[in-house]
């Protein structure tokens, strides 16, 4: 749990703490290897029975591992950064330095998002002020408590301050914005617009991960092959179940390319079985009444709007599969509600995307066609194209943006004794 004595409760507290955090970031350098050592211990500490039910904690454990992060850091900052060395480029040298204090405004629907956001700043050597959404307080508190246990010397924890306030509390938002040198902003359109409008210092670096949605797509060869289909269905179910389908990377619609001689209903039968298995393994603990109503309305509307439409679901609102045809992405219902649409040509569907699709999960038997499809998707705004079953894997770039690079200053040094006599 979060220690209430360590939570910043007022604008004055934020204003007082921020200079100390900046002083630590800029005058107490921390090597990447030290950060990675603590992260590795933190990852192991998250393998506890009281944490396993937190949505996404498995991915967080994988994200924190040295093997995951070293390759990303080498790509974003250069391999020399792993040991704090300068990178030589011609006569000049480059090296990453922290920007100072990074503020984090995570969305309220993903419990581990404040942690993921925080780690991006820490990898750049920065300090952080993190706003914890009320919905995530318990989960974040449990996860951070493991970091406190692993970081006995306080090299990372001394760089972290947390705050918790209502999303309508403008005074706290303003105080936090004025105190930071960079910001990671996540959430829906209204929330993002509100934070972007705050009085950040002119030098602050803002990275925004706004509202997006994600879909899956399968060519005929992938879904019509029974042996492959069963495996793909299990992967799809895992993608749907993670984060209760509330993440931007959650598949809301699955497009099936028509396959002569094969019946999409057979695919849905296997998909239903995979959903039932996933539901037994990870049953829903609770559901908001409004979501229950939305799921019931989605089921009824789907069946009433077109007599050719079909649907599979249990009596409870645990999960729903809506089956039909069409090229448009329906308005997401969430709550483990997947719309399966049969189409004649996947490329024609994807060429209609307008930038709202973040992640495209693929199952393609035809490699050449997949390469063609990827090109079309990339030109039409899709930032992440992965195999089905890996739609939530957190990695860089995310939404087309590096995760650590925006929060470091790449300092260029041309030595005075460079040999340039001009």
Angle separating helix axes 170-178 and 11-27, nearest 10 degrees: 20
Instruction: Decide if pLDDT at 419 tops 70.
Output: no
| Global model pTM greater than 0.85 | yes
Q: Are 81 and 392 in contact (CB under 8 A)?
A: no
- DSSP per-residue letters across 367-402: HHHHHHHHHHHHHTT--EEEETT-TT---SSBTTB-
Please state which CATH number belongs to domain 10-210+400-413.
3.40.605.10
Instruction: Decide if pLDDT at 316 tops 70.
Output: yes
Task: Indicate the pairing of strand 337-343 with strand 320-325.
Answer: parallel
SS3 152: coil
Average pLDDT over the chain reads 94
Percentage above 70 pLDDT, the chain? 98
> What are the respective helix, strand and coil percentages of the chain, to the nearest 5?
45, 20, 35
Angle at 394 between CA 399 and CA 338, to 5 degrees: 80
Q: Are 185 and 208 in contact (CB under 8 A)?
A: yes
Across the range 337-353, mean pLDDT stands at 97
Quote the radius of gyration of the chain (alpha carbons, Å): 23
Q: What is the pLDDT of residue 5?
A: 47
Percentage above 90 pLDDT, the chain? 88
pLDDT band of residue 67 (cuts 50, 70, 90) is very high
**Gap between the Cα atoms of 326 and 155, Å rounded:** 54
Instruction: Decide if pLDDT at 119 tops 70.
Output: yes
Instruction: Decide if pLDDT at 208 tops 60.
Output: yes
Q: What token pair was written down for 341?
A: 């649409």
**Gap between the Cα atoms of 381 and 384, Å rounded:** 9
Instruction: Decide if pLDDT at 420 tops 60.
Output: no
Please state which CATH number belongs to domain 213-387.
3.40.309.10
Across the range 247-251, mean pLDDT stands at 94
Which has more confidence, 59 or 201? 201
Angle at 405 between CA 404 and CA 409, to 5 degrees: 120
**Gap between the Cα atoms of 389 and 231, Å rounded:** 10
Q: What token pair was written down for 216?
A: 């899956």
pLDDT per position as a tens digit, 105-118:
999 888 999 999 99
Question: Of 100, 98, 99, 105, nearest to 176 (Cα)?
Answer: 105
**Gap between the Cα atoms of 78 and 97, Å rounded:** 13
Instruction: Decide if pLDDT at 49 tops 90.
Output: no
pLDDT per position as a tens digit, 6-29:
799 999 999 999 999 999 999 999
Question: Of 388, 45, 396, nearest to 242 (Cα)?
Answer: 388
Q: Is 34 exposed, middle or buried (0-12, 13-18, 19+ CB in 10 A)?
A: middle
Q: What token pair was written down for 409?
A: 């200053």
Q: Are 199 and 174 in contact (CB under 8 A)?
A: yes
Across the range 367-375, mean pLDDT stands at 96
pLDDT band of residue 364 (cuts 50, 70, 90) is very high
Across the range 50-60, mean pLDDT stands at 87
Instruction: Decide if pLDDT at 226 tops 90.
Output: no
pLDDT band of residue 149 (cuts 50, 70, 90) is very high
Across the range 172-181, mean pLDDT stands at 98
Give the chain's end-to-end CA distance (angstroms, integer).
Answer: 62
SS3 182: strand
**Gap between the Cα atoms of 77 and 132, Å rounded:** 28
Domain boundaries, the chain: 10-210+400-413, 213-387
Q: What is the pLDDT of residue 2?
A: 56
330 DSSP 8-state letter: P
Instruction: Decide if pLDDT at 33 tops 50.
Output: yes
Across the range 293-299, mean pLDDT stands at 97
pLDDT per position as a tens digit, 72-103:
999 999 999 999 999 999 999 999 999 999 99
Instruction: Decide if pLDDT at 4 tops 90.
Output: no
């Amino acid at each position: 749990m979060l220690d209430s004595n360590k939570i910043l409760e007022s604008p004055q507290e934020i204003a007082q703490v921020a200079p100390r955090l900046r002083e630590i970031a800029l005058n107490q350098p921390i090597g990447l290897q030290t950060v990675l050592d603590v992260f590795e211990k933190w990852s192991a500490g998250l393998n506890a029975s009281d944490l396993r039910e937190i949505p996404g904690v498995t991915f967080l454990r994988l994200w924190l591992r040295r093997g995951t992060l070293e390759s990303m850091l080498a790509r974003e900052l250069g391999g020399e950064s792993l040991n704090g060395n300068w990178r030589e480029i011609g006569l000049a040298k480059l090296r990453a330095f922290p920007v100072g204090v990074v503020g984090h405004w995570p969305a309220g629907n993903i419990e581990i998002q404040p942690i993921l956001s925080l780690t991006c700043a820490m990898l750049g050597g920065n300090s952080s002020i993190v706003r914890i959404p009320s919905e995530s307080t318990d989960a974040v508190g449990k996860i951070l408590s493991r970091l406190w246990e692993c970081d006995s010397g306080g090299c990372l924890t001394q760089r972290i301050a947390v705050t918790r306030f209502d999303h309508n509390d403008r005074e706290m938002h303003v105080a936090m914005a004025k105190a930071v040198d960079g910001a990671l902003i996540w959430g829906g359109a209204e929330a993002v617009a509100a934070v972007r409008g705050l009085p950040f210092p002119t030098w602050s670096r803002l990275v925004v991960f706004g509202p997006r949605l994600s879909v899956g797509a399968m060519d005929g060869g992938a879904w019509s092959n029974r042996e492959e289909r069963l495996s793909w269905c299990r992967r799809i179910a895992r993608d749907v179940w993670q984060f209760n389908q509330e993440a931007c990377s959650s598949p809301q619609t699955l497009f099936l390319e028509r396959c002569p001689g094969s019946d999409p209903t057979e695919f849905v039968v296997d998909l239903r079985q995979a959903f039932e298995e996933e539901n037994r393994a990870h049953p829903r603990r609770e559901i908001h009444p409004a979501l229950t109503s939305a799921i019931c309305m989605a089921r009824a509307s789907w069946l009433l709007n077109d007599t050719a439409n079909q649907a599979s679901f249990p009596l409870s609102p645990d999960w729903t599969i809506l089956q039909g045809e069409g090229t448009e992405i329906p308005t997401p219902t969430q709550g483990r509600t997947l719309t399966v649409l049969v189409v004649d040509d996947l490329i024609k569907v994807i060429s209609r995307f307008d930038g709202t699709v973040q992640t495209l999960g693929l199952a393609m038997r035809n490699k050449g066609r997949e390469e063609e499809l990827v090109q079309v998707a990339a030109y039409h705004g899709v930032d992440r194209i992965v195999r089905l079953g890996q739609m939530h894997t957190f990695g860089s770039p995310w939404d087309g943006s590096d995760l650590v690079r925006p929060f470091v200053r790449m300092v260029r040094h041309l030595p005075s004794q460079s040999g340039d006599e001009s």
